[in-house]
Amino acid sequence: MVKIGMMIGERYEILEKIGTGGMSDVYKGKDHKLNRFVAIKVLKQEFSENENFVSKFRIEAQAAAGLMHPNIVNVYDVGEENGIYYIVMELVEGITLKKYIEKKARLSYKEAVSIGIQVGMGIEAAHNNHIIHRDIKPQNIIISKDGKVKVTDFGIAKAATSNTITSNVMGSVHYTSPEQARGGYSDEKSDIYSLGITMFEMLTGRVPFNGETTVAIAIKHIQEEMPSPQEYVPEIPNSVESIVLKCCQKSPDRRYQSVQELVTDLKQSLINPDEDFVVVNDPDIEGGTRMLSDDDISRIKHRSVYQDDREYEEEDEPMRLLSDTAALYEEEEDLEEEDEYDYDPKMERVTTILAVVAGIVICIIIIILALKIFGNRGESDGLDSPVNTDETADTEYVDMPVVTGMNVTDAQSTLKDLGLEVNVVYEESETIDEDVVISADVSVGTSLQVGSTVTLTVSAGTEGIEIPYVVGMSVGEATSQLTSTGFLVNRTEGNSDTVEKDYVISQMPESGGKAPRGTVINIEVSIGQSRVNVPDLMRRPEDEARAMLIEAKLDIGNVSYVYSNEVEEGYVCYQSYSQGSYVDPGTPIDFRVSKGPESYTYRYNASIAAPTVDEAPDYESGSEVNVKLVTDGGNVLLDTRTSSFPVSANFYGLNSSAGTITITYTVTTTEPDSPPTTEERSFTRRVEFTRE
């Protein structure tokens, strides 16, 4: 049983629950060994006792753990402890592409292409590791707060062998490929189809195929022609439309044969958006529209009927599909009893033999994969020992793309998307337009480590302005000199032990060269010697807040404890310097810790008066009554019989703010020739208590 605050694997602290799915729950956690926040996916208790589910969970987790890429939500660790099976993943703060599209209605073609390039590079990394995602859709793509695009939920992907793997899991039907919809083979080109549908939605704000049921949508993927994105948004460039349509060809052979080919064309579309460079293979019989056979429709119904009542636009937990598949098989058995097919004993025997053979082959493949996966991790079970983070965090490399001839802004964006730093120098040119890249100091195709710097030589036109030298000047003097020369200024701040506060540390582009009028010159301004960035202590446990201040070389100031209706008890609800502020090392930071919501006590000091005529018209003064006082919390404060009023009531330390007084009295009735009869009657009074 996972509880908030518990430790898993002797290093991961469970902080809060952030999501749930059909098979697993997702928690925000703290890795105390590496001092970072992580997402922890925990298999639900009811599945952890099922050996089949656990085996699938472990194999898929190990496969996903082999993926390390800037455009993939990386898996750091997998493990098992006391029956709790978990995967530790990168914690990404941001929104899904689905919500981003809904927020903006539709994206510009440049933004859509840029996102498509990053998604493609993440998928390419998976394909290079023989892993097919099978559920590419906007809900499984996250845009982080810093603008990075990451593909998540490789939980249902399976390590592919040299043969094509048949998928038993149907992804979200709006994005599924025709071969998946038919229940046939799915390979890397199925992911390309789904990415094409995703790009269609980014560009137009809608999916190409829709319907009342999943069966109807699946049939459209197989049978209907792909609509043109330009029908909905005419300004979409021709090359971008051609790329989307090529991705979404019915026949896998007519699509891009690799994600690398797709990414290359996407980058080319940023340079020459209206050029006709997309090559479509000669049409074959599979590429055209074809009518579905009864067998095709029956197979789709069998695979899709269980999903008709589900909302596909939600962000679902991909591993939920594994449990849904089991339910699908049960429904298939019921449907087969209703179908009016002719029974063929010979065919049934052949099918049974083929199923047994396929089962044996799959078992052999799983054993081989398990030996490879677990053998590389030592003699112990991979789930019993944490993954060596230092070994899995291999240095990432990217290939240098073509940037010559691009606008400098687009070239910078392309390189930064790959994780590269960019340095720009200008030179005059009579043959190349202003702001167009003339050359780069790295050859196309060169393998570069992520974070490397690429220097671009950019045309300043025929009338470039010489860039002045402003390093060492005050920020005011530097800004004045640059703007008077005809440049724009972008200011950033940084620490410096050698440059005085408010003076320029560096400039980019550097002085000496020439650049067009209006070029932005970036200057870094000193904020003083080694100032410290104040960490975010809000809503963190007191012990963690103290540790964060010590790690940041800051002193712990005054710590007080206050009531708070918004922050949980034991967590920080105030800090004297806001997150991101720069202060000197050793600055004391005051913070307050929540004691939880404030609780109050009440008192009741009063004299309970006799019943009034309005309350009890038939009450006789002096007769005996029962007086009972009960708080709203059910605590009986007074329960007594009396014939005299007022009744004194003095109570303190009450937890409730109000109560009820019930007065019960007896009425005697006499009738001629009949013995007298008595009847009990009562009424109530509401009373408010006073806060102490």
* pLDDT tens, position by position, 571-608: 999 998 888 777 888 889 999 999 888 788 899 999 99
Instruction: Note if the pTM is more than 0.75.
Output: no
The pLDDT score that the predictor gives to residue 431 is 77
Q: Does 538 or 61 have the greater pLDDT score?
A: 538
The pLDDT score that the predictor gives to residue 15 is 93
Q: Does 339 or 403 have the greater pLDDT score?
A: 403
The pLDDT score that the predictor gives to residue 118 is 92
DSSP code per residue over 259-328? HHHHHHHHHHHHH-TT------PPP-TTTS--PPPHHHHHHHHHHHGGGTTS-TTS---TTHHHHHHHHH
Q: Can the peptide bond before residue 675 be classed as cis, meaning omega within 30 degrees of 0?
A: no
358 SS3 class: helix
Mean pLDDT of 233-257: 94
Q: Are residues 142 and 94 in contact, defined by beta-carbon separation less than 8 angstroms?
A: yes
Q: For residue range 345-363, what is the model confidence (pLDDT) as tens digits?
A: 455 555 666 666 667 767 7
Which has the minimum average pLDDT: 18-27, 486-495, 564-573?
18-27
638 pLDDT band, cuts 50/70/90, is: very high
Which has the minimum average pLDDT: 388-392, 396-400, 513-517?
388-392
Long-range contacts of 408-412 (CB under 8 A, 24+ apart): 408/435, 408/436, 408/437, 408/456, 408/458, 409/435, 410/270, 410/271, 411/437, 411/456, 412/456
Amino acid letter, 345: P
Token representation of residue 574: 């105030």
Residue 212: CB atoms within 10 A of its CB come to 8
- Residue 320 pLDDT greater than 70, yes or no: no
Residue 598: CB atoms within 10 A of its CB come to 9
- Residue 234 pLDDT greater than 50, yes or no: yes
Instruction: Give which of 316, 312, 303, 328 is closest to 215, Cα–Cα.
Output: 303
Residue 61: CB atoms within 10 A of its CB come to 26
- Residue 4 pLDDT greater than 60, yes or no: yes
Determine what percent of the chain is predicted with pLDDT higher than 90: 28
Residue 456: CB atoms within 10 A of its CB come to 23
Catalytic residue among 25, 135, 153, 417: 135
Instruction: Give which of 198, 196, 174 is closest to 259, Cα–Cα.
Output: 196
Which residues pair with residue 144 across a beta bridge? 94
The CB-side HSE value for 284 (13 A sphere, CA atoms) comes to 9
Kindly list the distances between the CA atom of residue 252 and the CA atoms of 259, 286, 326, 397, in Å, as whole numbers in the listed order: 13, 9, 28, 29
Which has the minimum average pLDDT: 129-133, 141-145, 284-288, 537-541?
284-288
Q: For residue range 412-433, what is the model confidence (pLDDT) as tens digits?
A: 888 988 989 888 888 777 778 8
Handedness of CA 243, 246, 248, 253 (dihedral sign): negative
DSSP 498: S
DSSP code per residue over 556-587? EEEEEEE--SSS-TTBEEEESS-TT-EE-TT-
Q: What angle do CA 579, 585, 590 make, to 5 degrees?
A: 50
Report the phi/psi class of residue 52: left, alpha or beta, with left for phi > 0 and alpha for psi in -120 to 50. alpha
Mean pLDDT of 64-87: 83
Kindly list the distances between the CA atom of residue 34 and the CA atoms of 320, 384, 388, 530, 534, in Å, as whole numbers in the listed order: 30, 19, 12, 24, 20
544 SS3 class: helix
Q: Are residues 45 and 57 in contact, defined by beta-carbon separation less than 8 angstroms?
A: no
How many whole angstroms separate alpha carbon 251 and alpha carbon 219? 15
Mean pLDDT of 372-391: 42
Determine what percent of the chain is predicted with pLDDT higher than 70: 79
Which range among 73-77, 337-341, 519-523, 635-639 has the greatest average pLDDT?
635-639
DSSP 10: T
Instruction: Give which of 183, 164, 165, 163 is closest to 173, Cα–Cα.
Output: 183
Active site residue 590: no
C-alpha dihedral, 149 to 202 to 407 to 486, nearest 10° = -90
